[in-house]
A = this chain, B = another copy of it.
Amino acid sequence: MTHLYRVRVYFEDTDAAGVVYHANYLGLAERARTEALRDLGVPHAELLRDHGLIFMVRRAKLDYLAPARLDESLLVTTRTLALGAASVDLRQSFAAETVPERSLVVAEIRLACVRVADMRPGRIPPRWRAVLAGGALG
């Protein structure tokens, strides 16, 4: 009921404080979400091709609890928190693979489903709803 994604920390992810730069978790979270949708059979490329819709980040909230460091392998856990007609709230937590029970960073991301044609809200199609609601993502 939980999607797991593994990602390694490289020099490009770090900053001069020796840890993962705080902004970069948002990029890592996007990779994890993209692979979650792909793994669960509802890739975002099909959402665009078949429905003219995309998910856009509308809100992000990040709590930085402890730093991640170069060469660490991180587990990103993606879960559905709430599902609306045209939006979905996800929780994505980051932990070191060696200590998976301790979150380093917790992100809550609200995605809006929007029509690319006019950037107006669009209803999430049934295939995506089923996956997001069924906890397949979460």
Contact = CB atoms under 8 A, between A and B. Distances in A.
Nearest to A63: B59
Contacts of A10: 27, 30-31, 34
A interface, how many residues as a size bin? 35 or more
Interface in A95-137: none
Contact of A11 (B11, B21, B63, B69): B21
Given A10-B34, A61-B60, A27 B16 contact: no
A12 B33 CA distance: 13
Given A56-B64, A63-B59, A64-B57, A70 B16 contact: yes
Contacts of A64: 56-60
A14 B16 contact: yes
Contacts of A50: none
Q: Which 10 A-B pairs have the closest CB atoms?
A: A23-B26, A14-B16, A12-B27, A22-B57, A11-B15, A61-B61, A60-B62, A16-B70, A23-B27, A16-B18
